[in-house]
Structures are given as C-alpha cells and as structure tokens.
Amino acid sequence: TQTPFVFVFVSDPLGSKIIRSLARPGGNITGVSQMDTELCGKRVQILIEVMPQLKRLGVLLNPNVPYVPKMIKITRQAAKTANLEVHLFEATSAKELSPAFKAMSENAMEAFVQLPHAMFWQNREEVVRLADQYRLPAVYEATEFVTIGGLMAYAENFPAHMRRAAAYVDQILRGTEPASLPVSQPMEFELAINLRTARNWKINIPESVLVLADQIIE
C-alpha cells in the first residue's frame, strides 16, 4: 500500500487480477502487459503456415495460473480454422517436462505450442533439448528459445517492453500516481526463426514466413 509497483512480463494482468482494468489499474500499481494471451492464436497460425499438413497439435502448459483457460480457448479457436486436433499436456515443474514430452511423442503429436509461464522460461534449455530429442517443432513465447536451438518464436520485443516500463518508473519518481497511468500493451513484435534447426529437421520454412522474420539464425 505504500510502495509503487511497475510490473513487466505479466502475461495477463487482468486475468491474474493484478489490476482492475487496463485504463484504470487502481491501487498502487501499473506496468506493461505482455499480451501473451492474445498471441497464442498467432503462434498457432504460424505453425499452420509452416506445416500445412499438420493434423495433431500438442499444447504444453502449466495449469497453475488463472489465465490458462483463456489461452487454451484462443489456441483451440486458431487450431479450429485448420481442423487441427488439439491435445493438452501439463507440466508444473522441471521434473514433469520429460514425461510431458514423452506423452506428446507417444500420442503422435506432430508439433506443439507452449503456453507462456515462468517455469518454462526458467527451464528453456531443457524444453528445447526435449523438443529436439523428440523432433517436435514449436513456436515459443520468446526469441531466447530460438537462439538456443528452438525452431520459432513470436513475441513482443523485450527491449522495447523494458524501455516503456522504465518510462513509467520515471513518471512515478517525478510524482505521478501509478493508478493514473494506464497499463501499456506491446506495440512491437518479432518473429524469430532458427534455420539451422529447420534444416536438421528437414522442415521447409516458406518464403511467406521468412520475409516476416525479424531474426533469422543460420
């Protein structure tokens, strides 16, 4: 109640009940939303364009957050446009990652999307290693998954994200009340593709996707 807060890297501040509304966050808090919930559908669309024959899609998720049902709904809606079968695979800790990937393989998943969560981010090297082990293409929540070998990622531009949060800190230190600062949403997004991984897995990235890429790892 005394210390102002500026949040960053929050996937769904409304769904998490951190704020009352985007325009009027209330309390002593404001910040920058990641819009990860809205981006779930876009990540599925990218997979469909890269793998037009895709039929069975896995969704790797941690169920212990309040906004996951909304993310699943948006993911299913995007998958429905291509008549994809969607199957959910849960992992709540690092030790549950390997069983989740094994289950995806045993259930004949052809690719997967990973719903954003701090646990996956903290264990991104293991996530990418298991994806490589089971040859499961994916679109991840951040470019950092791609730089260590993941196939693709679609996310907001993190440096721009942090700069906007810093501007809020500046205003608060100058006397502005956090409750009067509307929660900002990302305006810059980036698509990252690891062509080395694509070649190793014999996945052809179409030119229509390559031209949209902001970062290509050879």
Please provide residue 62's backbone torsions phi and psi, each rounded to the nearest 5 degrees. -110, 115
CA atoms within 13 A on the CB side of 50: 30
Mean per-residue pLDDT, 177-191: 87
> CB count, 10 Å around CB of 17?
10
Percent of the chain having pLDDT more than 90? 73
Mean pLDDT of the chain: 92
| Strands 56-61 vs 5-10: parallel, antiparallel or unpaired | unpaired
| Strands 111-114 vs 56-61: parallel, antiparallel or unpaired | parallel
Contacts of 37 (CB under 8 A, 6+ apart): 11, 12, 15, 67, 70, 71, 74
pLDDT one-digit tens code per residue, 118-145: 899 999 999 999 999 999 999 999 999 9
| Band (74; pLDDT cuts 50, 70, 90) | very high
- In this prediction, residue 128 carries a pLDDT of 98
Q: Taking the model in full, what pTM does it have?
A: 0.86
Q: Which two tokens stand for residue 155?
A: 């996310």
Among 79-83, 186-190, 199-203, which stretch is predicted with the lowest mean pLDDT? Answer: 186-190
